[in-house]
Structure 1
């Protein structure tokens, strides 16, 4: 995996058969041999997909997710190592570096109930795929921003490894790695973690990005993502960070009160294609960006505000358009000001007509001013 850190990968099974994958970068970390002996019920099967004929998109219906845990007290956190709280958790071992777990309450799952496809206009099919939780650290009271560059590099390697392996599942069409941070975003667990969705179809926004990339390539013979990066670099007014292999910038048509894109300088379709130097630089640049984002807003007494955000990796689809797709990370926040959220009200939610009260150039200037 990492050129600078040796990462040991260990695959085990939880009591209900779900996989747990350990990514250990600590020298001398003990073998992962602890069994999960919890009396768990049978693992949740996949729900189903319903086709929205009005707009030509799919909606996953997963009723079992109504029973998932919501913001439990610290000593009942299911993502802490077993032994640190009052319950046996999803991680049987007493410590870990980075762990990936099949979600106990999945939107998509590899096991399906008997669900014959429906007929138009009420088409439906099993939501086959995979939903995983990525635990960034065993420490509960911290954040991604507080990780060491070495640990972030391990997370990057885990994202890439899971992308490669999930892409081999026959039903999977798209792999999406992301982090939701903060109750304003809707997180259900405080422990620092992200998720990976392996979709059995290409979601709407990913489909739109692909369509634009294909049209641009047909007109110019070039990659749209590459042309956008070069244009932002040439303009310069929205550039936030320039690393050796990565550039962070606020997009020209940013939709959110805070929005930053992080793009590699080399044309790569997904996380799997990143080389060691690019992964090392990503760990450094991403931590710099997250540090600035957490200092973007200030309280009345001048203190920093932990920014709620969604960090979304846009990768090439598994089986189509890979030759025109280009990897980038999109980080967005709904926080307009401390205590004030941007609501997706009538225009945004009703017809998708976005209005942004923040000028992208002002967002970028603010983030540039927060350099250490």
Structure 2
């Protein structure tokens, strides 16, 4: 793979990941003003969780027509975020970031009352385009392209981990309008958070308590139990197993877990990256066959934090969908949204059986 770094008209970094060497010398001809991010984070005194405020994102691009897609390669008279006329995988800084290195300010408190801490939302947000084909999908990629995407994720995780103030790196993909996607081109994002996220902190606390009590990683024991039972396993490879979690929250819910404990994507071996590509594509194609339509989903990488508790982390990918039938959505209503208590309309065993049958 060849990695080429260039810059867009407003100074943002763009990185090409090519499977074969290509010259990447096209210039961004747009007249762009500098990125103006004004992110702030506030610590909720009732939950102890950070909340990001990014009001500047209200003006971000929203559902453009296909011929004006900002993620497609540039064409004569139609420049886009990618100056080249084609690409394999490309990553660039988000023009409307939730977190940015350019944010100014100092830690303070709301209204100077000392109750609600605030700080600049310093971090980094990137966009990852998986293919130049506007009408493609991750499930339609060849395994070789998925491997390139994995290498790009690993590269960006390593680089963002070096960025001042970044405490956790989160690659993810949102797919489908039902999920809230505003750009239909196949793409994902990477957030470099200036704090350890609440979900990760809770998972680390659980992992620590389990390790102290049993002397083993909790996800390792869950993985071993799922492989032994097999009732919720969807796909099993040499280095990865995909299964429906035994307490699944979503109508479609799958974990992809490597058989070896590693903290993050850069720690994966070459063989593990290749095997992930095979296992993940088999899962995604079952997902799209489940209701005989493209499945809207979120695919979220759970990685160890950059600086703390890395020995407790066990990298895994969580994929879930709000689609509970071909034309019915699972809404997060009172119990889920109000109390964070999930109620699933199907058992994990039923979900696993449906996905296996869809294969």
Is the TM-score greater than 0.5?
Answer: yes
Helix, strand or coil: the match of 1:323?
Answer: helix
CA RMSD of aligned residues (A): 1.1
Residue 95 of structure 1 is matched in structure 2 by 86
- CA–CA distance in structure 1, aligned partners of residues 335 and 167 of structure 2: 31
Give 1:353 deviation, angstroms.
1.2
Counterpart contact for 2:170–2:300, Cα < 8 Å: yes
Residue 279 of structure 1 is matched in structure 2 by 273
Deviations along 1:316-366, one digit per CA (max 9) or x if unpaired, are 111111111101110000001112111110011111111001110011011
Residue 301 of structure 1 is matched in structure 2 by none
Residue 180 of structure 1 is matched in structure 2 by 174
Aligned counterpart for 2:42 among listed residues 31, 41, 50: 50
Deviations along 1:47-99, one digit per CA (max 9) or x if unpaired, are 11011111111111111100011110001000000007x62100001111100
Residue 3 of structure 1 is matched in structure 2 by none
State yes or no: 1:32 paired with 2:24. Answer: yes
Residue 72 of structure 1 is matched in structure 2 by 64
Counterpart contact for 1:46–1:128, Cα < 8 Å: no
Residue 213 of structure 1 is matched in structure 2 by 207
Counterpart contact for 1:131–1:198, Cα < 8 Å: yes
Counterpart contact for 2:37–2:96, Cα < 8 Å: no
Deviations along 1:136-167, one digit per CA (max 9) or x if unpaired, are 00110110011110000000000001001101
Counterpart contact for 1:99–1:134, Cα < 8 Å: yes
Residue 111 of structure 1 is matched in structure 2 by 102
Deviations along 1:188-207, one digit per CA (max 9) or x if unpaired, are 10000000000000111111
Mean Cα deviation higher: 120-129 or 193-202? 120-129
Point out where structure 2 has 5 or more consecutive residues left out of the alignment. Answer: none
- CA–CA distance in structure 1, aligned partners of residues 163 and 283 of structure 2: 33
Helix, strand or coil: the match of 1:344?
Answer: coil
Point out where structure 1 has 5 or more consecutive residues left out of the alignment. Answer: 1-6, 298-303
Q: Residues 156-305 of structure 1: matches in 2 within 5 Å?
A: 156-297=150-291, 304-305=292-293
- CA–CA distance in structure 1, aligned partners of residues 321 and 250 of structure 2: 6
Counterpart contact for 1:225–1:325, Cα < 8 Å: no
Deviations along 1:165-189, one digit per CA (max 9) or x if unpaired, are 1011120110001000000000110
Q: Which has the higher helix share?
A: 2
Give 1:117 deviation, angstroms.
2.1
Counterpart contact for 1:180–1:194, Cα < 8 Å: yes
Counterpart contact for 1:46–1:106, Cα < 8 Å: no
Counterpart contact for 2:105–2:119, Cα < 8 Å: no
Residue 338 of structure 2 is matched in structure 1 by 350
Structure 1-normalised TM-score? Answer: 0.94
Mean Cα deviation higher: 321-330 or 107-116? 107-116
Helix, strand or coil: the match of 2:62?
Answer: coil
Give 1:116 deviation, angstroms.
4.5
Counterpart contact for 1:80–1:139, Cα < 8 Å: yes
- CA–CA distance in structure 1, aligned partners of residues 116 and 18 of structure 2: 46
Deviations along 1:100-119, one digit per CA (max 9) or x if unpaired, are 01000000011113354225
- CA–CA distance in structure 2, aligned partners of residues 113 and 66 of structure 1: 20
